[in-house]
Structure 1
Amino acid sequence: MPFAVSCSPVTGGPRPGAAPMSEGVREHAARTPHAVALRDSTGAELTFAAVDLAVDRLVSLLRAHAVRPGDRLCWVLHNRVEVLLLALAAQRLGALTVPLSYRASPGEFERMLAVARPRVLVVERTTAKLVPAAATTCPRLDLDDPSTDPASWPVGERTGEPGGTNRLGAGSSLIFTSGTTGSPKAAVRTRGDRALAEAIARGFGIGGGSRFLSAGPLYHSGPLTCALMVLAKGGAVTVLPRFDSHDWLAAAIRDDCDGAFLTPSQLRAIVEVAEQGGKNPASLRNVVVSGEPFPGELKRRAVAAFGPVFLDCYGCTELGPLTVLPAAELLRSPRSCGRPFPGVTVRAFDGDRELGPGERGVLRARTPLSFVAYRGASGDHPAEAAGGWATVGDIGYLDERGYVYVVDRGNDLIISGGVNVYPADVEAVLLEHPVIRQCAVVGVPDERWGEAVCATVVTSTDLTVDQLRTWLIGRLADDKRPRRLVRVAELPVNGTGKVSRRLVRDLLATRPEPRVR
């Protein structure tokens, strides 16, 4: 029978011969075997004892396919509880997980698999046909094929909990960060630091009693890491197959969820439902918002709709969580993403010169969770520069209190008439306009200015570029005011639910519009 059918209560205590354990699923299976660990979208449940047994059986299945420590276990799966079970099995084996987006094209799969070189590729009925047969010669496991039902696999020799517990559930991985265009590269993440991991869990409000709602794609590092962290601490995770604002609210109410991971784009959709009279979960306490800029306008609306339950986190696939702005401070410092976690240092640089408070530059970080290297088609590229600093090119600054402000991604910078324009700065002002619901600002080629500032917006009523530029007088410098305005029904998002400026640029290339000269 398909593996998903096994998502039902299984009781029982730990089996004899268990090795010494560090905090993780195995320990919770011994201490609280009947506690719920996982729920799916139907409400079916797996206890910690059931999860522990299922993971051991997956370990036996993977060993039978020659997966060994240091090997790479790759999957192309939609959100389902088995994704988390596979990640836990990989940890027990000492293997690296390589999640791939099911939204990739056949050519993209070929390029990513050439970089990943997995020992085993795990698919499901809906994704098996997406990956070309020629993309990899490694064995495939189809979770919807009756022959892979782990209930039929005996539990082999048990090993101790993996050394990767210093990552507090996350394990070692290769996560692709630019596999949708050009040459793909994956961040190699093997480092761990238990003190920092515990500080992140505290900052996110994650503990043994957590009831976490996971709806973002589990091939993305944020949702996957948070879900695994909750399980490692003994909390329960509800996995939804995809994000939908109405389904998210319904599941949060049904399972009394107190935490979640959302991108600002996803949160905006949820807030809009709440503002239209949707029923709100009263249980929410710690909702992590990350993955893209979290504008002050949305912070105010979210708190008005749900109360002070949202925290702003700045981080990335390569470096992990770097800063946190607690829920209690969200509206006191709405433009900031908080201060670094203990053990993390963030600074702004201009070249090799470290900048002072208020000075904008490239943000660099020192963190024990930094990725080791980028792995690409041409080999590995080290992650760190001199002094242990690493960066993904984000632009920002720190204030005199040590709070971090992310201005924009470096490759999104617009240079118009010789003036540097950061899209996020313009977007923050545009979102204050009474009829603008969403916006994305990009630069478009312009004969006179080199690049012109273009605003792509979702509005509640008609709006012209002249009307917008007039409204912006006194609110935004003239060289930052958009010279082109495009109204759309919705902004394009990427596979992780974030508004994609690259997709906005692609859209604009097919939409010639009048502009202000």
Structure 2
Amino acid sequence: MSSQTIPNGLMQRAYLTPNRVAVETPQTSLTFQELHKRVQKVAQQLSFNGVKQDDTIALYMKNRVEFIEILHAVSYIGARLLLVNTRLTNEEINYQLTDANVSLLIADETFLMREFQSSITQLTLPALKSSPEAETGFQKTWNLEETFTIMYTSGTTGHPKGVLQTYGNHWWSSVGSALNLGLNEKDCWLIAVPLFHISGLSILMRSVFYGMKIILEERFEARAVNEAIENKGVTIISVVTSMLSNMLDELGERKYPHTFRCMLLGGGPAPLTILEACVNKEIPVYQTYGMTETSSQFVTLSPEDSLRKLGSAGKPLFPCAMKIVDEKGNETSEAGEIIVKGPNVTKGYLNKPEATEKALQQGWFYTGDIGKVDEEGFLYVLDRRSDLIISGGENVYPAEIENILLKHPAVKEAGVTGVADEKWGQVPAACIVTKEDVSDEELSLHMQQFLAKYKLPKYFVRVEELPRTASNKIIRRKLSSFIQKGS
């Protein structure tokens, strides 16, 4: 075995601790050995349907055990898996399937089959499960440099980019998290975030590396999540601020058991009121900073520093390095771009050599985020990825929304920014210069054809002109004043 390979994660875990519970849902409970047996069968069914080593298949599915089975079955064959956000429109999904040269799309039976490229075979989960099993050789080792999963993230130009995530990215992300949060043989991680997000997928990978039980929820419901923490031995959960807020409201005067040791909070710094409520209830909150390109968390703030370093994302995980650079690429003690390096950082973007070359320079990944490091080494993220809006934990890029708005014949110019929202943290809002009268309803109907619901602007404000730089770029930070006047 070379230094660049490790044993296939689930196969090795089923061999080491076959009788440990791997995953539990309200409907079922599987040990690692039982999961392994299921995955072998699914791999043979995928093989019958033409999936071969190095193929790319797509998974369009809600949180369920079968998602986990297909994920690992793809690794048993040696194929790659594109994880599709179930909230996207046909057009958004079709772009990803075409760009990634997907040969087979496996869909949850609760989703209607959609119109995609004719070259892409669509298969519902029941159809896959009823397929015959073809003999196939299983991949017993993982090459750490090989791409395993692909997730698309919108870019500042409005064109989504496929982030390549290798087996090594997932392995080192898991190692870094364990070195930071610790690891206990009784750990149980509850998943109520989508599995097609890096936050959900990273937990699935940690499960097999750690030999850790996960409790899988189909969707987030505060009452069900709190009940699991209180009564089912949950020790860790990953959340965004809107989820944590709902959990605190539902918890009321109750407290979590002392066995619950980690509330891993992503999606931006939490408000002081929420942090203080967690301190009062003795809830250990670990704030984090990460992205799809870093295979989950990269910087984490421990509970003991959450109030002392209010607004900070913390310090890098053990295998990772971080620094702040100015416009010339020189390290600075002032505010500048956050750049990161580590074995959990992507090797690049699918079919986007120019974007890859721009983002990865001399081993450093340029995040596009603006931040500052204090005298103790704590990171403060000042501006998320070039005007990025984070709405309920989802990344929303203004340029993508602006491009769709400009497709409407009545819209001459469009500028989008994020505005504060009590429920979602932020929501998109649009300033538009129009050629003719057009209603908000008509604009919303137009945009629903192209964009997922969470990307739709909550407000449309008509303006005579947009604020621009000398080079004619929209100054999005100045759009907020128009929104406040017009909303």
TM over 0.5, yes or no?
yes
Match of 1:188 among 164, 168, 182: 164
- Give how far 1:104 is off: 1.2
Q: Does 1:252 align with 2:229?
A: yes
User: What is the CA-CA distance between 1:114 and the residue it aligns to?
Assistant: 1.1
Contact 1:209 1:234 in 2 (8 A): no
Give the one of 123, 128, 131 matched to 1:141: 123
The match for 1:509 is 460
Aligned to 1:32: 17
Q: Is the 8 A contact 1:57 1:156 kept in 2?
A: no
Please state if 1:96 is matched with 2:80.
yes
Shift in alpha-carbon separation, 1:207–1:144, aligned structure 2, 3 A? farther
Shift of 1:287: 2.3
- Aligned counterpart in structure 1 of residue 286 of structure 2, from 291, 295, 311: 311
Match of 1:83 in 2: 67
2:387 equivalent to 1:407: no
Instruction: Find the residue that maps to 2:377 and give its secondary structure.
Output: coil
Query: How far is 1:296 from its partner?
Result: 3.6
Summarize deviations over 1:109-135 as a string: whole Å, max 9, x none: 211211122132111211243x31x33
Separation in structure 2 between the aligned mates of residue 197 and residue 211 of structure 1, nearest angstrom: 15
Spell out, residue by residue over 1:123-175, the C-alpha distance to the aligned partner (whole angstroms, 9 max, x if none).
1211243x31x335233331133x6247x6377544413234x89xxx72110
Deviations 1:19-74 (A, max 9, x none): x97373223322332221111134x2011111010111111112223323322121
Match of 2:348 in 1: 373
Question: SS where residue 57 of structure 2 aligns?
Answer: strand
Q: Tell me if the contact between 1:41 and 1:251 (Cα under 8 Å) persists in the aligned partners.
A: no
In the TM superposition, 1:368-517 aligns within 5 A as 368-375=343-350, 381-382=355-356, 384-412=359-387, 456-458=420-422, 503=456, 506-509=457-460, 515=485
CA distance in 2, matches of 1:191, 1:155: 25
Which residue does 1:162 correspond to in 2?
142
CA contact (8 A) 1:268 1:298 kept: yes
**1:287 and 2:263 aligned:** yes
Are residues 1:228 and 2:205 paired?
Answer: yes
The farther-off stretch of 68-77 and 193-202 is 193-202
Change (3 A) 1:261 1:83: same
Cα distance, 1:81 vs structure 2: 1.3
**514 and 31 in structure 1: CA distance in 2 versus 1, 3 angstrom threshold:** closer
Q: Which amino acid is 1:381 matched to?
A: A
Q: 1:105 matched to which residue of 2?
A: 89
Quick one: higher RCO (CA 8 Å, sep 6+), 1 or 2? 2
Q: 1:454 to 1:253 in 2, by over 3 A?
A: closer
Q: CA deviation at 1:182?
A: 4.3
C-alpha distance 401-234 of structure 1, shift in aligned 2 (>3 A)? same
CA separation of 1:158 and 1:172: change in aligned 2, threshold 3 A: closer
Q: 1:341 to 1:375 in 2, by over 3 A?
A: same
CA–CA distance in 2 between the matches of 1:380 and 1:55?
37
Q: State whether residues 322 and 340 of structure 2, in contact with CA within 8 Å, keep that contact through their aligned partners in structure 1.
A: yes
Alpha-carbon distance between aligned partners in 1 of 2:258 and 2:218, rounded to the nearest angstrom: 23
Given candidates 240, 243, 246, the residue that maps to 1:263 is 240
Residue in 1 that maps onto 2:306:
330
| One-letter amino acid matched to 1:509 | F
**Does the CA-based 8 Å contact 1:21-1:27 persist in structure 2?**
no
Preserved CA contact (<8 Å) 2:8 2:140: no
Q: Secondary structure at the match of 1:298?
A: helix
Q: Structure 2 CA distance, aligned partners of 1:300 and 1:318?
A: 31
Post-superposition shift, 1:75?
A: 0.7
Identity percentage over the alignment? 22
Contact kept, 8 Å, 1:231 with 1:237, in 2: the verdict is no
The match for 1:339 is 315
Q: Is the aligned partner of 1:212 residue 2:189?
A: yes
Other structure's SS at 2:34 match: helix
Tell whether the 8 Å contact from 2:226 to 2:247 is kept in structure 1 after alignment.
yes
Partner amino acid, structure 2, of 1:327: P
Shift of 1:249: 1.1
- Contact 1:24-1:234 at 8 Å conserved across structures: no
Match of 1:237 in 2: 214
CA offsets 1:244-277 (integer angstroms, 9 cap, x no match) = 1112112333421111111122112112222x34
Code of the aligned partner of 1:239: L
Kindly provide the amino acid, as one letter, of the partner of residue 55 in structure 1. Answer: V
Secondary structure of 2:293 counterpart: coil
1:371, distance to aligned residue in structure 2 (A):
1.4
* Cα distance, 1:57–1:266 mapped onto 2, change above 3 Å: same
Deviations 1:76-134 (A, max 9, x none): 101101112211122222222211011111111211211122132111211243x31x3
Gaps of 5+ in 2: 391-397, 399-414, 424-452, 463-481
Residues 189-246 of structure 1: CA distance to partner in whole angstroms, max 9, x if unpaired? 2262656642322323445432110011111011111232123210111111111111
Give the whole-Å Cα distance in 1 for the aligned partners of 2:261 and 2:61: 30
TM-score, with structure 2 as normaliser: 0.75
Distance 2:32 2:458 in 1: 47
TM-superposed deviation, 1:366: 1.4
Q: Matches of 2:173 and 2:100 in 1, distance apart?
A: 28
Q: CA offsets per residue over residues 302-323 of structure 1, 9 Å max, x none? A: 2323x14221121100123321
* Cα distance in 1 between the residues matched to 2:212 and 2:125: 25
C-alpha spacing 1:205/1:154, structure 2 compared with 1 (3 Å): farther
- The residue aligned with 1:486 is none
Give the AA of the match of 2:458: L
How far apart are residue 334 of structure 1 and its match?
2.5
